Amino acid sequence: MAGQRIGPPIPGAEEAGEGQPQAHDLADELPQLTVGRDAGWRDDWGGTSGGPVEPDPDPDRAVGRTGEPYEEFAPAPGGRWSTMVTRLGSFGRAHFGVIAVVCVVFMVLAGGQLLKARSTRVPAATAVPVAGSMSPSSPSVTPTPTPQLRVHVTGAVQNPAVQSLPAQARVADAIAAAGGLRGDADAGELNMAAPVCDGCQLIIGTKGSPRGELKNPDGAGTDSGPAAGAGGGAGGSRPGTVNINTANAAALDQLPGVGPVTAEKIIAWRTQHGKFTRVDQLREVDGIGAKSYERMKDSVTVG
């Protein structure tokens, strides 16, 4: 910086004539100011010479502070301040965007949860009856049992047995409950629409001995088949009697005191022993006691 002119132009220099000192001449005579001059020297625009001076007791009032180079007010290149500014600039550009994206995602998720919570309906509370709130005078409701009929279905059916039927059941319902008719069954002119009663007996005949009879519990009934004893033997058979050597189960079942089970036992005894030679041999059949025999002996014959 040596030789550089420092300071404002001197007033009146432009109007100076020959022989007058010029501004550049005066500037050449002024002490030169260089950056970083040694301590103890100062600029003196009004003086004509420079030299060592005493430090000003009030440094804040001095035009220039000696011993303190200008570079102390500027951050040194690569210093801590420059590094902080550089890192802050890098963080603002690179990471603020990431933070913004995270905030947006959080707001979207929070908004979705809020909408879901609003859209979820709380189920209405179910009123639970309190035991003490019921009126003591209110009678308890007891379900009415469905009436059942017990009907004995026998003869030429698939499952001869006592069947449970609903009230107002018909003959056709009783046959269906017993599994239906067998292939050799012939119910004659039995009325399938006739109502059955509790404790009655339904007898179904076969093609060899067509019969269809519905007996009431008191023994009375209607027979739609041929007369009993139609299978009786020729010769000495009395009219209205049943030949126990030739009658089938349906014919034997109509005898007084004889049911389907006893009729089958009579046929089994006959098969085992060949035939009955006397009527009183019925006493040898299992299930026929003295009272049953007395009731049936006048209705049977051995041929």
β-pairing, 300-301 vs 242-243, is parallel
Residue 265 lies in a domain: yes
Range of the domain at 273: 242-301
CA distances from 46 to 12, 16, 31, 59 (A): 17, 20, 11, 19
Residue 182 lies in a domain: yes
| Domain finish residue from 199, 215, 231 | 215
Residue 272 lies in a domain: yes
Tell me how far apart the alpha carbons of residues 290 and 297 are, in angstroms, rounded to a whole number.
Answer: 10
β-pairing, 148-155 vs 201-204, is parallel
Helix (H, G, I), strand (E, B) or coil at 204: strand
Taking only the tens of pLDDT, the chain with its 303 residues reads 444 555 555 555 455 445 555 545 545 555 554 444 444 444 444 444 455 555 556 555 545 555 544 444 455 555 565 666 565 555 555 577 788 888 888 888 887 787 777 666 656 666 665 555 455 555 566 666 667 888 999 888 999 999 999 988 999 999 999 999 998 888 877 888 888 888 888 999 888 777 788 887 765 555 554 434 334 333 344 445 788 988 888 888 888 888 888 889 999 999 888 889 999 999 899 888 888 888 888 888 887
Residue 201 lies in a domain: yes
Tell me the torsion sign for CA atoms 251, 254, 260, 262. negative
- Cα atoms in the Cβ-side hemisphere of radius 13 Å centred on 41: 12
Residue 27 lies in a domain: no
Q: How many domains does the chain have?
A: 2
**CATH number of the domain that residue 253 is part of:** 1.10.150.280
Assess whether 205 and 255 both reside in one domain. Answer: no
Residue 157 lies in a domain: yes
CA distances from 14 to 8, 21, 25 (A): 13, 11, 13
Nearest to 225 by CA among 245, 247, 246: 247
Residue 105 lies in a domain: no
Residue 278 lies in a domain: yes
